[in-house]
Structure 1
Amino acid sequence: MYELPVTIFTPTYNRAYLIERLYKDLINQTSKDFEWVIVDDGSSDNTEEVIEKFIKENILDIKYFKKENGGKHTAINYGVDKARGELFFIVDSDDGLLPDSVETVINLWNENKNIENISGISGLCIYENGDVIGTEMPDDKPICKFADLYFKYNVKGDKTLVLKTDILKKYKFPEPSGIKFLPESVVWFELSKYYTVRCINKPMIIREYLEDGLTYNMMSTNAVRGKATEFMILINQQTYPITRYPYMWIKNYINRVRYSKLAGFKYLSGIDGFFNKFMCILMYPLGYYKYVKTRDLVKHN
């Protein structure tokens, strides 16, 4: 049994100047039935000092851990191991939370937790001006596979995702050597092969896209190396079955070639099975074309 309904999890890296905003949003939650687990992914600023100040104020149940820099995916794995909440609610250090977000999650989960193969809750993200990021979710699909939202029902944009901690302990992120960015698709969409989520058209997270954030740096060296690894993993896991997501199934092979070329990787390296290697070779012309179109955009760091 878990000690709390919810773990709010925040991975952070050099965000001492920003994280107090989230702290204030957590203080203002209508439900305090949560812990705040912060994993500092090797910050070189005064993040630790800022968090220690929060802890001394003794307003929230805060657990702070500092680890060697390894990327957000490794911080998530670390946080899952430390979580004492039944649900794992990832809120980034540059995010905000609406005042009733935790209460909404707890109430909705209590109403739906006994549904077979349900893994968690998905809600909306909004900009600071209140506009919904992307599109809303279909009202007639309150319970569905998370991947179906994007690849069957044409939902766009970031969404809030709160998942059962027990499930995340079973489906951890791979931690390949030398990769400090690994997209969350390798776990979130893999779970869609086995589990559903309860969807709600209610904003929970307030999201801001900063220039030092991942979204603005998707063509950095770290990012293209991570994307190349992402598509290798998605192919090997068969995350997108051809019968359910034929477009995404083909796209994996094309993007494996594209991002491997951008990253300087051998595109067949690490690909499991003769058939998958054959598909990569078959899709090489399209992948190479996309590589040529984007190679000048890579930001070397």
Structure 2
Amino acid sequence: MEITDTRDRKEYRFSVFTATYNRGNVLKNVYDDLLNQTYQDFEWVIVNDGSSDNTDEVVREFIEEKKLPILYIKKENGGKHSAWRVATPLFQGLYEVGADDDDRLTHDMLEIFDRQWKVLESGGAKLYDSFWEIRARVQDEKGKLVGPKFDSFFDSDYNEFCYKMGYGTLECDGCRKVSVLQNEAAVPADILFGHEITNYSECLRWSKAARKYKTRYIPDIVRIYVNTPFSLSKQKPNRKKFYTALVSSIYMVNEQEDLMMRYNKKSLLLNWLNIGYQNVRLKKMVLSPLHRFRDRLAVLCLLPIAAALYMIRK
């Protein structure tokens, strides 16, 4: 692992985090959007997760221009969860904001988050300590809001938002307390099939934090979703994607079964079915990591359906 650190102080208001893999041709867009931010008290933390393209050369050019404080980490490919694990202890910001390597940022993204955090900070310790995150909205390149509209801010938590309110698929951009990312919402040190997956589902981490802290949801637009033809999400499935889907469902069942039983039993059923389906695709049986006997039994009962689905889709 190689680290280049051009930061000139120990504290920033924001840490802007970009994990990137073979996206050297679009990183300049993120760089330009950060240069054009109306609020400039931030560091940019970039993790090159083993790219084989020109990402290293592109980032080196940013560093040589000396226009932004940059922490650049170049490492072997290990998935986005490994990029999070390396970067999070090194954040020097009070709050973290994600900047995906293929999306665009509004020029006032950081200004919006700064203004909202100041409202919470001025409300006293009891109010401020009860929150860990502010989530804003995303629109596509045509200006269409991604997901249903809400006109004013409201306070909730990630679990209630996803399960009780049914907004689990709504696209938002979060700004989070680094202290919580380093503790309650940290990437686990030991993950099932950790070297075989492309990512440890971030929703699992946000769900853990939500059991203790609230989120403020605001209607402001802070990110532009770009539907790129070379998006990693559109690559052909491979064994790593099968393992990623399997591991995600196993952890969902282990850690969020109470939420699914309370708010969305169908989601629990689909996760049981997915565990069976991914086992069929991988030609192995992984049930022991499930904590409860009833979950293992449920997967076994659904296995014939999972096998039939696999044969239909094959």
With the length of structure 2 as denominator, give the TM-score of the two structures.
0.85
Moved over 4 A (4+): none
Q: Paired residue for 1:279, among 292, 295, 298? A: 298
- 1:89 aligned partner, one-letter code: V
Residue 132 of structure 2: SS of its match in structure 1? strand
Change (3 A) 1:108 1:135: same
**What are the Cα deviations for residues 211-241 of structure 1, in whole angstroms up to 9, with x where unaligned?**
3323323744322220101111122223652
Change (3 A) 1:48 1:143: same
**Any conservation in 1 of the 2:140–2:224 contact (CA below 8 Å)?**
yes
Change (3 A) 1:64 1:278: same
**Any conservation in 2 of the 1:7–1:83 contact (CA below 8 Å)?**
yes
- 2:61 aligned partner, one-letter code: K
CA positional deviation for 1:198: 0.6
CA positional deviation for 1:191: 2.7
Q: What is the aligned-residue RMSD (CA, Å)?
A: 2.2
- 1:117 aligned partner, one-letter code: S
- Quote the residue 1:108 is aligned against: 116
Change (3 A) 1:46 1:217: closer
- How many residue pairs match? The answer is 293
Q: Paired residue for 2:163, among 151, 157, 160? A: 151
Pairing of 1:162-241 with structure 2 (within 5 A): 162-170=175-183, 171-174=185-188, 175=191, 176-217=194-235, 219-238=237-256, 240-241=258-259
- Quote the residue 1:83 is aligned against: 91
**What are the Cα deviations for residues 6-53 of structure 1, in whole angstroms up to 9, with x where unaligned?**
100000011111100110000000000111000000111221221111
**Any conservation in 1 of the 2:78–2:195 contact (CA below 8 Å)?**
no
Taking the aligned partners of 2:22 and 2:163, their CA distance within structure 1 comes to: 34
CA positional deviation for 1:292: 4.1
Residue 202 of structure 1: SS of its match in structure 2? strand
Instruction: Give yes or no for the alignment of 1:142 onto 2:161.
Output: no
Identity within the alignment, %: 26
Taking the aligned partners of 2:237 and 2:203, their CA distance within structure 1 comes to: 17
- 2:287 aligned partner, one-letter code: L
With the length of structure 1 as denominator, give the TM-score of the two structures.
0.88
Change (3 A) 1:173 1:239: farther
CA positional deviation for 1:290: 4.2
- Quote the residue 2:272 is aligned against: 253
Taking the aligned partners of 1:82 and 1:262, their CA distance within structure 2 comes to: 38
- 2:178 aligned partner, one-letter code: T
The unaligned stretches of length 5 or more in structure 1 are 297-301
